Structure 1
Amino acid sequence: MTSATLQLSSPTQAERGLLRLAARLTVYVEHRIARRATKRTLALDLLREQQARRNDPRAVDHLLAQMGLNRR
């Protein structure tokens, strides 16, 4: 009985392979989560920067003049 118990206490080759696969998937998913968080942070920073900019009313007139169009 003791030898049967010892054989069952260690994981089989298939179980060890599944554990390695699970560890790799965990690393992959954590990397994706971190990358998404970085992208989200950058996007929010860009959005805040765009919203903080003040519109220059002369900029439109300047661009129209560069294109050769009449000013407003």
Structure 2
Amino acid sequence: MAVIYKCKECRKVLYSFEKVGQDFYGVRTPSEISSIYGGKCPKCGKKLNVPLIDDISVKLRVKRSRSF
């Protein structure tokens, strides 16, 4: 399951964690993502806040089999 942080206003993807081993640090926290961008979205300039429970959605991704 991927972890994707998006701007609440313009929906720009700010960070995406796709798989274990992607980087040394693992999944970043919302606070870390905010500090990377100086607290503002680089696209629209809106202040980045820690998400509320209503801002979080879980979506299942079905793995498709390959046919050769």
TM-score, normalised via structure 2 length: 0.24
Task: Report the structure number with the largest CA radius of gyration.
Answer: 1
Structure number with higher helix proportion = 1
TM-score, normalised via structure 1 length: 0.23
Structure number with higher strand proportion = 2
Which of the pair has the greater relative contact order for Cα pairs under 8 Å at 6+ separation?
2
